[in-house]
Amino acid sequence: MSRYHGYTTQQAQAVLDPKTELIAYGEVDWTQNQGQHNGDVTIADIQLLDVPALCYRTVLRPKKLSEPTFIVLLGGQHLQRIDVNGEHEFRQFTHLQQTDPHNPLHELDAIDLTETFPHVPTTENTISDELLQLCYRAAAKQFRIDISGVTWVRPPVEGVTS
């Protein structure tokens, strides 16, 4: 059993399986790293054994607040993410990127979420805390993470408005 990016193919498949229940809990813990702000909560998985740590992360870049990213990390490495207003193949749109569970060295084709995800205007470099929370909940739903046990903490980032 070889490991890719801190997790095995079997572990990736188990976490991405639609039958797997993922439950996040605790307060969103904001840290700053290399010019971006990361808001993390732990995902507790009560069904799977021998799975590395799971984390649900929100990434804010102060110069691109209208482009938040929501990520599921498995063993500290990217498993799936939603890029709001992100660029992919020379196009800027909200999309889901997932690691191929059968080959974690590759990503599956991006899935366009523009019509189903909350709209974040790109005209200004701000985002309201309310809209950010709405996106946070929508991403959790897309990832099948129960966040009823999560306490949202407003990010300490200039440009996130009340």
Paired tokens of 84: 């709001």
The counts of H helices and E strands in the chain are 2, 12
Mean pLDDT for the stretch of residues 95-122: 88
Band the pLDDT of 81: cuts 50, 70, 90: very high
Instruction: Give per-residue pLDDT as tens, 39-58.
Output: 999 998 656 667 778 999 99
Select from 158, 126, 161, 120 the least CA-distant residue to 139: 120
Say how many CA atoms lie within 13 Å of 54 toward its Cβ: 25
